[in-house]
Chains A and B, each alone.
Chain A
């Protein structure tokens, strides 16, 4: 099929077909089961790697796929979203936030040890920034790492950590220096390190993601696990956020699209007062209002994605994109629930789950309020 956008090639569409097949076969039939179990099976990561889903955005030297631009990430998100579970994307793709700092600032040995097995689906990665005392205020994080010979002794805790229960390698922000942004470093904490414990968190949505609180009690981590120079972690974290926000906007877009498509199909099938729901003008207008927003998010998302592929750093624009996408997802999911009526209120429908998962996208990866502040500062207000 000819692409309807200058940003997508036949290869993107061929990749889409493969991801769709994977989701139909390996994800959609099991999603309810995983949601109840509150975690994904480890084998899923291996299967996803074998199907080539985990490699996008990572260099071939470490098992990734060279030359796959960020639009492949958008396609991947769009297709994974068809299973109707944000937890699936967040947890299966948690290496998308946990592993890039290692790739960007780690040494060759660190990449071989902490990135390659994750990209191959043998290990699971997570990113740990947020603490019980605060999330977005990275410059003031409290988890402390004190140097003791060849080790750091780490004390503190992290919370809301996606894939936190199952992760083998956790890219963790710690304070190695003084107050403020100049005292933050990134270290990889490995599962099984003495003094490291974790507890699962129950959530409104994202059930199949094993989100956790992590505790570090005199946890000794080799200095060799530090990613990048000491006290230079803040910039690496900020750069990582920019990419994460694009992908969160992509999720918001993808779920808005699923809500629209589900609603359209339901409105055609459901008969009330002797005619299909869609024959009511009020419902048709709702659907058009939804699709208008879906198209608008996509236009903005594709343009920002293109700018990132051109090595630009549109920080303010990406903040605004994330807000625009997530606000409109809330609108679209709300309308979808209204069209589904009682059927949407039942547990197990895609629309029910997406509706419950709108909030995590307006909060995670930088809350809407923080996004606005950051955008305003970037624009010099």
Chain B
């Protein structure tokens, strides 16, 4: 079984995000980037399924500029067999990403697209669902457990009321939630071996994909700073304070 894992290069989760002075976005120059943490989890799941003998080939895919290669090298060090780099500079909207992933999925004849439930940069949480829709395939999002059984996948997902288990026919799209697994440490020999694996570069034109322009970013602003709190001494004081603010 061939699976596709889409991985995105994002600003590292440890970096304190700074807004560009003109409000056109966040500062990314000279800032540490790494693989989107949810995509790492998706990657780990694919590798575990391969180690269990359920998956035979893992193809990692990323979209974006030249530096996306670093993210693909990380995926290859995880255990992807090869990688595809949809090399396009500039902003890529979720619908565009979904179109490209759908095209590659079809071309490769993959059985599962694994991806993180969302990327920590724009938190859109759209690509997996859109890809499934474009391919007209079942989707199981926010997976916290995945079990493959021949032509079906049992996917447990965390919902507000507890756990829900879906059974989807393959091929399907599965997006990974935080508790699906804990990604491994990449060992140095694997990091070094990753350098020798192949990365195929393709463009939107190669894939016959048209870039969507359905979203427009008007302005990026930092979240409002929290104003100073007030200490109350008694419950009565708290209740009257809340009443005064019209909150109860």
Q: Are B185 and A65 in contact (CB under 8 A)?
A: no
Q: Are B187 and A51 in contact (CB under 8 A)?
A: yes
Binds B, one of A16-24, A36-44, A133-141, A323-331: A16-24
- A11 interfacial contact with B, CB 8 Å: yes
**Judging by beta carbons under 8 Å apart, are A52 and B189 in contact?**
yes
In this assembly, does A67 line the interface, its C-beta being within 8 Å of a C-beta of chain B?
yes
B70 within 8 A of A: yes
Contacts of A10 in B (CB 8 A): 70, 73
CB of B34 closer than 8 Å to a CB of A: yes
Secondary structure of the A side of the interface?
A: helix
Residue numbers in A under 8 Å from B242 (CB-CB): none
With A10-B73, A11-B192, A11-B195 as contacts: A18 and B32 at CB distance below 8 Å: no
A204 at the interface (CB under 8 A from B): no
- B50: Cβ under 8 A from any A Cβ: no
Does residue B118 face the partner (Cβ distance < 8 Å to A)?
Answer: no
Interface positions of A from 1 to 51, Cβ below 8 Å from B: 1, 10-11, 14-15, 17-18, 21-22, 50-51
> Which of A14, A17, A51, A66 has the most C-beta atoms of chain B within 10 angstroms of its own C-beta?
A14
Q: Hey, which chain A residues are within 8 Å of B187, CB to CB?
A: 18, 51-52, 55, 65
Q: Size of chain A's interface in residues, with CB distance under 8 A?
A: 20
Interface pair A18/B192, CB less than 8 Å apart:
no
A14 and B185 contacting across the interface, CB-CB below 8 Å = no
B73 lies within 8 A of A56 (CB): no
Contacts of A375 in B (CB 8 A): none
Q: How far is the CB of B207 from chain A (nearest CB, A)?
A: 27
Cβ of A72 under 8 Å from chain B: yes
Chain A residues, Cβ within 8 Å of B195:
11
**Contact flags B187-201 to A (C-beta < 8 A → 1, else 0):** 111011001000000
- When C-beta atoms are compared, the residue in chain A nearest to B195 turns out to be A11
Is A308 on the interface with B (CB-CB < 8 A)? no
Are A52 and B188 within 8 A (Cβ)?
yes
CB pair B188 A50 closer than 8 Å: no
Query: Is B186 an interface residue when CB atoms closer than 8 A count as contact?
Result: yes
Q: Is B115 an interface residue (CB 8 A)?
A: no
- The answer, yes or no, to whether B74 is at the interface (CB within 8 Å) is yes
User: How far in angstroms is the closest Cβ of chain B from A316?
Assistant: 32
In contact, B74 and A14 (Cβ under 8 angstroms)? yes
The answer to whether A70 has its CB under 8 Å from any CB of chain B is no
User: Is A68 in contact with chain B by the CB < 8 A criterion?
Assistant: yes
Of the residues B30, B70, B73, B185, contact of A18 by C-beta under 8 Å: B185
Instruction: Please name the residue on chain B nearest to A17 by beta carbon.
Output: B34
Q: In the complex, which of the residues A14, A50, A66 contacts B77, with contact meaning CB atoms closer than 8 Å?
A: A14
Q: How far is the CA of A56 from the CA of B189 in the complex (A)?
A: 10
Which residues from chain A contact B34 at a C-beta distance below 8 Å?
17
Query: A67 — which chain B residues lie within 8 A by C-beta?
Result: 192
A72 to chain B, nearest CB (A): 7
Which residues of A from 206 to 239 have beta carbons under 8 Å from B? none
Q: Which chain A positions have C-beta within 8 A of B31? A: 1
The answer to whether A1 touches B186, judged by C-beta atoms less than 8 angstroms apart, is: no
Residues on A with C-beta less than 8 A from B185 are 18, 21-22, 50-52
Chain A residues within 8 Å of B77, by CB: 14
A60: chain B residues within 8 A (beta carbon): 189
Say yes or no for B33: interface residue by CB 8 A criterion. Answer: yes
CB within 8 Å for A1 and B32 given contacts A51-B187, A56-B188, A68-B188:
yes
Which one of B31, B70, B186, B188 has the greatest number of beta carbons of chain A within 10 Å? B188
CA of A180 to CA of B225, assembled, Å = 71
Whether the Cβ atoms of A14 and B191 lie closer than 8 Å is: yes
How far apart are the CA atoms of A65 and B190 in the complex, in Å? 10
Complex Cα distance A67/B70, Å? Answer: 20
B73 touches A14 (CB 8 A): yes
Interface string of B70-95 (1 = CB under 8 A from A): 10011001000000000000000000
Min C-beta distance of B108 to chain A, whole Å: 26
CA of A17 to CA of B194, assembled, Å: 15
Max chain A C-beta neighbours (<10 A), residue from B31, B191, B192, B195: B191
Chain A CB count within 10 A is highest, among B30, B34, B77, B189, for B189
Q: How far is the CB of B221 from chain A (nearest CB, A)?
A: 23
Does A18 lie within 8 Å of B33, measured CB to CB? no
A11 surroundings in chain B (CB, below 8 A): 188, 191-192, 195
Known: A18-B186, A22-B185, A68-B192. 5 other contacts (CB 8 A): A10-B73, A14-B186, A15-B188, A52-B185, A60-B189
User: Can you list 22 A-B contacts with CB-CB less than 8 angstroms, sorted by A residue number?
Assistant: A1-B32, A10-B70, A10-B73, A11-B188, A11-B195, A14-B70, A14-B73, A14-B74, A14-B186, A15-B188, A18-B187, A18-B191, A21-B185, A51-B185, A51-B187, A52-B185, A55-B187, A55-B188, A55-B189, A56-B188, A60-B189, A67-B192
Closest 9 pairs between A and B when the two form their complex, measured CB to CB = A52-B187, A51-B185, A14-B191, A65-B188, A52-B188, A18-B185, A18-B186, A11-B191, A65-B189
